[in-house]
Structure 1
Amino acid sequence: MGIRGLMSFVEDHRNEFFTDLKLRDTKIVIDGYALFHRLCFSSDMELQYGGDYDSFTDVVQEFFESLSACNIRPYVVLDGGCDVSDKKLTTLKDRAREKIQMAHSLSVGGGGCVCPLLIREVFIQVLIKLQVCFVQCFSEADRDIMTLANHWDCPVLSSDSDFCVFDLKAGFCPLSGFQWRNVNTLKGTQNCYIPAMCFSIDAFCRHFSNMNKALLPLFAVLCGNDHVNLPIMETVLSKIRLPLGATSPKGRRHHRVLGLLNWLSHFAGPTEALDNVLKHVPKKDRANVKELLCSSMEEYQQSLVKLQDFFQYGAYVCPDSLNLGLPEWVLAALTKGQLSPFISDALVLRRTILHTQVENMQQPNAHRISQSIRQTIYGLLLNASPHLESMPWKAPPAQPLAVSEVERINKNIKTSIVHAVKLPEHYSDFSKLTELSLDKREMLLLETLKVKRTILDPVPPSLRLPVAVSSYWLQHTEAKAKLHHVQALLLGMLMGPLHARTNSPDKEDASDDGAKVLYKELHRVKAQTRLSKKLDLDAAHVFCQWQCCLQMGLYLNQLLSTPLPEPDLTRLYSGSLVHGLCRELLASAPSVESLLSMCPEAKQLYEQMFNAMQSSAPPESFLPKGKSHSKKKRQKKQGSSWPKNKVGTTSGTKCGHEGSNRFGLLKVENLEEHVEASELE
């Protein structure tokens, strides 16, 4: 949620509404959504190139290391899908439009804050690696966070202004004042603490003539939060004489906040104030407006959910989800973050929102390429309809199963209807999906990705899903991926294994030296790209499409209980590195061969991934950028778009692995010369 103007107002009154804390030796409940956004936007993260997930991973690790140093025990609570009523849809659409504008600004070299597409998944993987306790709620988490923090009598860490309205026993610490990078030591001891600000709801109410704190939920609703957006409320507020007061030099900026708080402070409680509000509403609308205001005020009361049960016993009861009759395995997977809120939105609401990236706004949105994967996901989910109770979208059996997708069209949004794919009979019982054999689950995944199982066998298990997804990506002509895109992407995927090797505590051997040199060289390319700030918009769009494929491939794999091992996303893709490699490869400095000559193990891994992708991708994907039309025509005329059984030469020496070493193609500096040499043979 969020109350317009409230956070900036209370921060302007820091000395009046906040107390200083030296936070240590305590539990703390963390708003996960707010935290990963804060760490993404306030830590010099690269956003223009689609995200540096490795840099983000490092920042998240540093954050939790600071907490550990101060014996602060974090419990992260993540939002789930949208409320069953979908009452925030209007707000979500408005935010989607705002993100499109910010993404466009970033794409043309301006500013903006747009989270990379897979940031949430990366965040969850880091939490798991660090063994940080976390839970994913069924829908919005604010009330559950408040209830858990009050149960434990510990503070909440967030940036959401709604926590200025919740009556929190131990207070609310805004992320903006949480100095986790500035760990201090208590004088005369070895005990560490983090300087923090803590909002005091009592001080806040005292400031407004000892206002009854029970009035704050009505203030939030009238001021405007994510749930209430009625035009009639603006009319009501215009009729109420809101005193500006002289409590702030920035009164004009916060006129609405100040006026409402001063006005409400004259009432004994919410009932009296609500009756006064309704006097300004036409009689025919009063009942509906009162119901809406009361239900919205309920959002600030204690939740029935007891998240402490999850942290103690590994499960908790959520009345909203139980009422829907969802299979137990789905509820458990959602709670543990093993299924995305995208899945619950599609299942419960038959509506999803496809998030915009920093892409080419003149092209169709990047998510179009992964539509067939989503159709399979929808086919699995919507097969659940006969088994679920009280679904809001319960449709007649004759109606085709479909999902509404909110997607980018140019620089605006549009809702499109996407039909679910009809699946074979053995996938029809959604409640027993996890009981299917591994072979059947893997078969559906690979058939959706249009990849044969045998081509993945040489690839290490941890990289099979990214390679399968990349093969799917290459098979779609709308991706317009070229050889240098593929090379850069695969070289970028080496960063994870190289990081593990160079940071291993095990005894070093001589081969580690090559890995360190290559790792250092890739970091140089990444750093140089971050300095240049020149975005190739076509390349950006191609890699956005790849991330969309990876996201949906990951979700389908999760829904099928991971027939392929879940990949480590934390160092799988670094946008600045991949874009920088694209530029350097086009300039032939360095070549793939010269880079990989430093580390034979990395070269072997690269070959395994490249061969798997090339065997299932159309030959034109591997044509060099800028290849002349005459050359293409000549190839077509001679009936060969790419020589499959010959490999190029390096330094005048012919390779002798005919028909098997497709990686040889990448050893040639000039691919056009390679084609011509093959033709001469």
Structure 2
Amino acid sequence: MGVQGLTTFVEGNRNFLQDLRFRDSRLVIDGSSLYYRLYFNHGLDRQHGGDYDAFACLLTRFLSALAACKIQPYVVLDGGIDPSDKKFPTLRSRLQSKIREADNLSRGRNGSVLPILTRHVFIHVLTQRGVPLVQCSAEADWEIACLARQWNCPVLTNDSDFYVFDLPGGYLPLQYFQWTNLNGKACQRYISSRFYTTNNLCRWFGGLDRELLHLCAVINGNDYGAPMEAETLLDLIDVGASGRGGGRGKGRASSSRIEGLLIWLSSFSSVAEALKEVSRLMCEGGGNKKGQKDELSSQLWAAMQEYNIKARSSLVHWFSGGKVAQRGNTCGLTQLPDCLSFAAAQGQLAPAVVDAWVMQRVLLMPQVENNRLASSHLSSKAIRQAIYGILLQGQDGTVHGRDGGARLAAESGRGSGGRGRGGRGQVHTSAWSKGQAASVQAQGTPICVEEYDRLDLSLKKNLVEAQPPRTPVLLSELSQAPVALRLGVLFEVLAVKESALEPVPPHQRVGVAVTGFWLREVTPTPPQPLVQALVLSMVYGEVSFNNQPGNSHQHAVPRMNWAAERQVLSALGGKR
């Protein structure tokens, strides 16, 4: 989420932010904001697939700085797409923007496209360091705010919505969090930062009711959009404010739309009074038909509830005992097998997998590549089809659509445009039941997942058929399936015979199989130097691991080869 223009407005007024020496406290961290900020603000490579080693070192330094100041971090990550579909138009627009930014980067220009494995490396380092983390079922903002309110501790993020949430422990904007320059004596280290609460802003506007701040954010527009009539209301507000005699804002110049809106709202004593005025304005000046004058007020009130954080946080249960307790009954994780639900909460199950399960929709992240060629995601299509098949198949082994899946199947059969055509903010619903989905499957129509991927420089929706592997494996029994069975399924999807991998050491077989799959599927065929570089990196990783003390398979390497391996390691290390 994010409120348009609010960050610029708050940071432009020195009365809203206070200096803080931060130490010896809990800290709730917006994980997505943190890894974006760390990667983009420290000169790491964006053009050549990701500088993950440098990123891991940077993150480790950040965590060490927190530890030196006795700050206990709790990291909360965004999950999949909001099942309500309220934010989908915004996500689709951002994806289109990232396609163009990736193209700019490929041509040596500027752009901010996160390398595709950054999130994975982020979670890996946090797990290694024992940092508590959780991946939410959908967007994490509301969960973060509820947790911080219950714990009375600050939030570290870069999201302007946290200028709206009423957090007693405050909000620490990432751009002011000076973790690279610790201060204080050794036993009392602290991080200099700037600190925000809604108190200062509301006081500046004459004791503004905090709920009116929520209304300001909704009228102005956030990532969930704004009601269609909100722009009409904004055009009328100046007239309405003059008609009321200006209220407390009389005589003050409005330096921005945010400030003008806050000045207008400060003339009301409550949200109810403000919404009543909204109805009057829309009725008199907005051309509303009789009986519709309260529609905008109702929409605004409903949207304001996204900023209501008085509920007890479900994440407290997770951080106190590892129990999955997700918000709402429609998050989808509650319907996953326990092992996968737990893996998703740990961040070990990618949000795209949850999206395929809950929404039957997946957004494929753009990468820096030659945009005159086909999307690089096409090379892994068969793997995704197998994943969709495993996720969506029933106990009888046939593929069943979930919610909208059967409708997608029917639409794919008759060439319809699919979901997302009902306008902004529409909640996706389907009249199809699982039984009807099975009926569609029985009639030979495939069950599909919506994929959004690049076609040249445009975002295109594709309906991709779910194809479970021939080897029987049920989602509900996946965690109990023998390792040999799971490997068999994996090698089947990668189209490689296990017998062909027998000469390869067991711990390298998956890597070799994936490399073979890539060489077969990728277009155009990779040049020989690229393949040689990949093999060389695998060799370097192996000999480097073999020569580390205490590794798990050093005993399997004959002693006569150790000296030779050390020479290879030294030579390769010198060429890095």
Same-fold call, TM cutoff 0.5: yes
Give the 3-state SS of the residue equivalent to 2:224 in structure 1.
coil
Instruction: Provide the residue aligned with 1:432 in structure 2.
Output: 477
Separation (CA, whole Å) in 2 of partners of 1:229 and 1:456: 56
Give the 3-state SS of the residue equivalent to 1:426 in structure 2.
coil
Displacement after TM superposition at 1:409 (Å): 1.5
Instruction: Provide the residue aligned with 1:5 in structure 2.
Output: 5
Separation (CA, whole Å) in 1 of partners of 2:292 and 2:507: 59
Range moving further from structure 2, 292-301 or 112-121: 292-301
Displacement after TM superposition at 1:236 (Å): 2.0
Q: What does residue range 507-526 of structure 1 map to in structure 2 within 5 Å? A: 512=566, 515-522=569-576
Paired-residue identity, %: 38
Q: What residue identity is the alignment partner of 1:2?
A: G
CA contact (8 A) 1:321 1:331 kept: no
Give the 3-state SS of the residue equivalent to 2:216 in structure 1.
helix
CA contact (8 A) 1:79 1:138 kept: yes
1:193 aligns with 2:194: no
Separation (CA, whole Å) in 2 of partners of 1:11 and 1:210: 20
1:278 aligns with 2:279: yes
Displacement after TM superposition at 1:473 (Å): 0.7
Q: What residue identity is the alignment partner of 2:480?
A: E
Give the 3-state SS of the residue equivalent to 1:296 in structure 2.
helix
Separation (CA, whole Å) in 1 of partners of 2:391 and 2:550: 44
Give the 3-state SS of the residue equivalent to 1:320 in structure 2.
coil
Q: What residue identity is the alignment partner of 2:217?
A: A
Range moving further from structure 2, 432-441 or 91-100: 432-441
1:318 to 318, 321, 326: 326
CA contact (8 A) 2:168 2:197 kept: no
1:407 to 430, 453, 462: 453
What are structure 2's unaligned runs of at least 5 residues? Answer: 242-248, 406-428, 441-445, 552-561
Displacement after TM superposition at 1:121 (Å): 0.9
Q: What residue identity is the alignment partner of 2:231?
A: E
Q: What residue identity is the alignment partner of 1:239?
A: L
Q: What residue identity is the alignment partner of 1:353?
A: L
Q: What residue identity is the alignment partner of 1:409?
A: L
Instruction: Provide the residue aligned with 2:219 in structure 1.
Output: 222
Change (3 A) 1:126 1:511: same
Instruction: Provide the residue aligned with 2:162 in structure 1.
Output: 163
Change (3 A) 1:466 1:143: same
1:319-372 deviation digits (Å, cap 9, x = unpaired): 425775333222211111121110111110111101101111111211111111
Displacement after TM superposition at 1:94 (Å): 0.7
Separation (CA, whole Å) in 1 of partners of 2:540 and 2:40: 23
1:113-150 deviation digits (Å, cap 9, x = unpaired): 10001111111111111111111111111111111112
1:53 aligns with 2:63: no
Give the 3-state SS of the residue equivalent to 2:187 in structure 1.
coil
Change (3 A) 1:321 1:191: same
1:377 to 387, 403, 414: 387
CA contact (8 A) 1:166 1:300 kept: yes
Q: What residue identity is the alignment partner of 2:569?
A: A
Instruction: Provide the residue aligned with 1:351 in structure 2.
Output: 361
Separation (CA, whole Å) in 2 of partners of 1:494 and 1:275: 71
Give the 3-state SS of the residue equivalent to 1:185 in structure 2.
coil
Instruction: Provide the residue aligned with 2:266 in structure 1.
Output: 265
Pairs aligned (count)? 513
Displacement after TM superposition at 1:41 (Å): 0.3
1:18 aligns with 2:64: no
Q: What does residue range 479-628 of structure 1 map to in structure 2 within 5 Å? A: 479-494=524-539, 496-497=541-542, 512=566, 515-522=569-576
Give the 3-state SS of the residue equivalent to 1:184 in structure 2.
coil
Change (3 A) 1:245 1:501: farther
Instruction: Provide the residue aligned with 2:518 in structure 1.
Output: 473
Instruction: Provide the residue aligned with 1:657 in structure 2.
Output: none
Displacement after TM superposition at 1:275 (Å): 2.5
Displacement after TM superposition at 1:446 (Å): 1.0
CA contact (8 A) 2:153 2:169 kept: yes
CA contact (8 A) 2:392 2:402 kept: no
CA contact (8 A) 1:305 1:318 kept: no
Separation (CA, whole Å) in 1 of partners of 2:549 and 2:21: 35
Displacement after TM superposition at 1:234 (Å): 1.4
CA contact (8 A) 1:305 1:316 kept: no
Separation (CA, whole Å) in 2 of partners of 1:503 and 1:182: 33
Give the 3-state SS of the residue equivalent to 1:80 in structure 2.
coil
Displacement after TM superposition at 1:159 (Å): 0.2
Separation (CA, whole Å) in 2 of partners of 1:390 and 1:366: 27
Q: What residue identity is the alignment partner of 1:349?
A: M
Separation (CA, whole Å) in 1 of partners of 2:69 and 2:50: 30
Displacement after TM superposition at 1:377 (Å): 0.9
CA contact (8 A) 1:501 1:512 kept: no
Give the 3-state SS of the residue equivalent to 2:472 in structure 1.
helix
Displacement after TM superposition at 1:490 (Å): 2.5
Q: What residue identity is the alignment partner of 2:535?
A: L
Q: What residue identity is the alignment partner of 1:235?
A: T
Give the 3-state SS of the residue equivalent to 1:157 in structure 2.
strand
Separation (CA, whole Å) in 1 of partners of 2:142 and 2:223: 14
TM-score (norm 2): 0.83
Instruction: Provide the residue aligned with 2:129 in structure 1.
Output: 130
What are structure 1's unaligned runs of at least 5 residues? Answer: 523-681
CA contact (8 A) 1:91 1:226 kept: yes
Change (3 A) 1:499 1:165: farther
Q: What residue identity is the alignment partner of 2:491?
A: L
Instruction: Provide the residue aligned with 2:314 in structure 1.
Output: 306
Give the 3-state SS of the residue equivalent to 2:28 in structure 1.
strand
